[in-house]
Each structure stands twice: as structure tokens, then as C-alpha cells.
């Protein structure tokens, strides 16, 4: 789904969903726990429990759960790059980061798009 050409304020190519989904990021320094704040076909804005600098390459794995019993789950694997870091509570090891999916196969991106469409 493309952005709405009638809304000049909306420039995103893919719709976003505001949903909390726990997931893991892999950096050169190890595994980082994360939780989505919002998700789209092109990237994710999330909360992490350790500082990750801008331009860090990441391996990402999401479990997209379609129902409360977790009987319908799809896994998405891709790579991303940190494009923004916000200190929300460094003393408590909490940061918000924006990640652009720079290496994602079409099938993986379509899983995210389908998940978002089902939830709206």
C-alpha cells in the first residue's frame, strides 16, 4: 500500500502499526533485547535496553503473532541500520532507536505488510 497522495503531511511509503512486539537484534557486540513502538514495511521504531550508535548494522528477527493464543505466527528475518537514537532514560538502560530495513527480501517485507493490514 502506497502513501496517500491527498495528504501532503503523510510521506511514508508504507503504513505503520503502533504495536508492542518483543524481538531481538544482533550486533557485532551481541544480542540486544528490543520492543517495537511502531512497525512498517521499511523499518521499525523501537525501545532497546542498551545504547546502539547510529549507522550500526543489525540482524533482526521478529515473531509476528496473529492471535492471542500464538497459534498463528510468522517469522521475519532481515537486516537493518540504525538511523536515529534517542536517549529516553540512559540511567535505566532505555533508548528509542529507528531502524531502516536495508536488507529485506520481498517475501519478508510482504509478511510485515500483511500483518499490518490484518491489524488495521
Instruction: Annotate 20-41 with three-state secondary structure.
Output: CCEEEEEECCEEEEEEEEEECC
CATH number for the region 17-119 comes to: 2.40.10.220
Q: pTM score, two decimals?
A: 0.84
Cβ atoms of 24 and 32 closer than 8 Å: yes
Confidence (pLDDT) at 70: 64
Domain ranges within the chain, ordered by starting residue: 17-119
d(CA 48, CA 35): 7
Decide if 108 contacts 76 (C-beta within 8 A): yes
Report in angstroms the alpha-carbon separations of 70 from 28, 33, 66, 94, 98. 31, 20, 7, 27, 27
pLDDT bracket for residue 120 (50, 70, 90): low
As given in the structure block, the three cell numbers for residue 82 are 540504525
- Binned at pLDDT 50, 70 and 90, residue 65 comes out as confident
Q: Is 14 or 28 the better-scoring residue by pLDDT? A: 28
Amino acid at each position: 500500500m502506497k502513501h496517500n497522495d491527498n495528504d501532503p503531511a503523510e510521506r511514508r511509503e508504507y503504513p505503520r502499526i503502533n504495536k508492542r512486539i518483543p524481538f531481538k537484534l544482533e550486533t557485532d557486540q551481541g544480542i540486544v533485547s528490543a520492543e517495537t513502538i511502531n512497525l512498517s514495511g521499511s523499518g521499525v521504531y523501537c525501545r532497546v535496553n542498551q545504547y546502539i550508535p547510529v549507522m550500526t548494522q543489525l540482524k533482526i528477527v521478529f515473531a509476528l503473532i496473529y492471535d492471542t493464543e500464538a497459534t498463528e505466527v510468522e517469522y521475519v528475518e532481515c537486516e537493518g541500520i540504525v538511523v536515529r537514537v534517542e536517549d529516553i532514560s540512559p540511567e535505566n538502560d532505555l533508548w528509542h532507536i529507528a531502524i531502516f530495513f536495508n536488507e529485506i527480501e520481498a517475501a519478508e517485507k510482504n509478511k510485515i505488510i500483511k500483518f499490518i493490514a490484518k491489524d488495521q
